[in-house]
Amino acid sequence: MGMTMTQKILAAHAGLDSVKAGQLISARLDQVLGNDITGAVAVDVFRAQGFDHVFDKSRVNLVLDHFTPNKDIKAAQQSKKCRDFAREFGIENFFDVGDMGIEHALLPEKGIVTAGDCVIGADSHTCTYGALGAFSTGVGSTDMAAGMAVGYTWFKVPAAIRVELKGKLRPRVSGKDVILYLIGQIGVDGALYKSLEFQGEGVAALSMDDRLCICNMAIEAGAKNGIFPVDETTIAYLTGRSRRPWTVYAADPDAEYEQTITIDLSALEPQVAWPHLPENTHPAREGKEIPIDQVVIGSCTNGRLEDMQTAYEILKGRHVAKGVRTIIIPATQAIYKECIRRGWLEAFVDAGCVVSTPTCGPCCGGYMGILAEGERCVSTTNRNFVGRMGHVKSEIYLASPATAAASAFTGFITDPTEAE
């Protein structure tokens, strides 16, 4: 029996000719990642275990992005712990205030992760890098600490679900709508510890930003990872960006999948996940009677340049609805700078929006957008659990940048294809 794309990458990193679903392996790591929260915990474990070196100073990454610039004393202490560790061990890929970005937008942008890599990160949305043809997955801070020290970790090889993509997305429909629709179909445990492998002729019609968004939310279906084939779009993105040579892996024709799910991209309409699970999806048009208090456009899911462009195209020359707080967060300094150069930030401010330095802040209820009791937010983030962005009696509606921007303008959940 042949291997899936994920299984081929894991076999190569385990030094094996082949692997099969359920097999336990020890695999070499290309990159290890932590942030100001999980990295600080990993540093404590690293020291407690008596480790005195990292396996490779160029392959350990610390990104201070969740509560930076620091929101309080605890956040400052966590960041300081990471700063001290990075200085002591000469961590080359250390990103702090003024030089940082949201981790899962930053590492692809910097060319740190590339096709064929095996990557772990102490953050569940590390699965983002499957968009580049890498195997990447989230782990706990203890596994991160061990990974930093030895450059290996163990995995149970996942079984796979094949997601066949057909057609091409209509204007104002994006990768966020694809993944919300898929999660709505299979549920938050529909791909539990499986690899979501995206294939089909529809892949070619998706931009890299679409793919990064889709893989980012693979974990919201319970998946171990999400992954796209390496094609012309991938190569164009990696060329001149990747810091290392890459390796292209492709699934065997006789690879085994537990099931195949087909999505016709041309028939897809804007989706919104209502409270309190990402699987609670509805067409955006069904939310037209739901008033909102806040909109957040940003995060590791939807803070990239195409997301900023979509928001700009909808909000330029307009003003957000009275009483709707609209927060826009470019995901990296480079994206922030490009938004300035193109005049988008001025347009956002003129539209009544707040523009923030790159941060995860509001997504995980940290700062820059906490919700009060009874408030509703349309957010381009990835989770809408109870209390995720503030009060336990607040509500989060997950949506694409187009839907979020259109909703900010109307004050109600709005289908962007009907709002022009």
Predicted confidence band at 354 (pLDDT cuts at 50, 70, 90)? very high
- Give the span between the Cα atoms of 361 and 368, in whole angstroms: 6
Write the pLDDT tens digit of every residue in 117-143: 999 999 999 999 999 999 999 999 999
Task: Give the pLDDT mean for 296-310.
Answer: 97
pTM above threshold 0.85: yes
Buried b (16+ CB within 10 A) or exposed e, 26-54: ebebbbbbbbbbbbbbbbebbeeeebeeb
Pairing of strands 225-227, 353-355: unpaired
Give one word for 55, left, alpha or beta, with left for phi > 0 and alpha for psi -120 to 50: alpha
* pLDDT of 114 above 80: yes
User: What length is written for the chain?
Assistant: 420
Q: What are phi and psi of 199, to 5 degrees?
A: -140, 180
Kindly give the residue spans of alpha helices, DSSP state H, lying in 28-174: 38-48, 73-89, 103-109, 141-150
Task: Give the pLDDT mean for 224-252.
Answer: 97
- Give the span between the Cα atoms of 137 and 103, in whole angstroms: 14
Predicted confidence band at 312 (pLDDT cuts at 50, 70, 90)? very high
Sheet harboring 259-264: ordered strands across?
225-227, 194-199, 159-166, 259-264
Over its C-alpha atoms, the chain yields an Rg (Å, rounded) of 20
> In what helix (H) or strand (E) does residue 263 lie, and over which residues does it extend?
strand 259-264
Task: Give the pLDDT mean for 346-375.
Answer: 95
- Give the span between the Cα atoms of 194 and 125, in whole angstroms: 15
Q: Which fold has domain 272-418?
A: Aconitase; domain 3 (3.30.499)
The CATH code that applies to domain 5-263 is: 3.30.499.10
Q: Among 27-31, 56-60, 98-102, which is the least confidently predicted range?
A: 98-102
Structural domain spans, the chain: 5-263, 272-418
Q: Do domains 5-263 and 272-418 have the same CATH topology?
A: yes
* pLDDT of 420 above 80: no
* pLDDT of 418 above 90: no
Predicted confidence band at 260 (pLDDT cuts at 50, 70, 90)? very high
Contacts of 54 (CB under 8 A, 6+ apart): 60, 89, 91, 148, 149
- State residue 95's pLDDT score: 97
- State residue 419's pLDDT score: 67
Name which residue leads in pLDDT, 288 or 176: 176
Which residue's entry shows tokens 């962005």?
389
Write the pLDDT tens digit of every residue in 157-213: 999 999 999 999 999 999 999 999 999 999 999 999 999 999 999 999 999 999 999
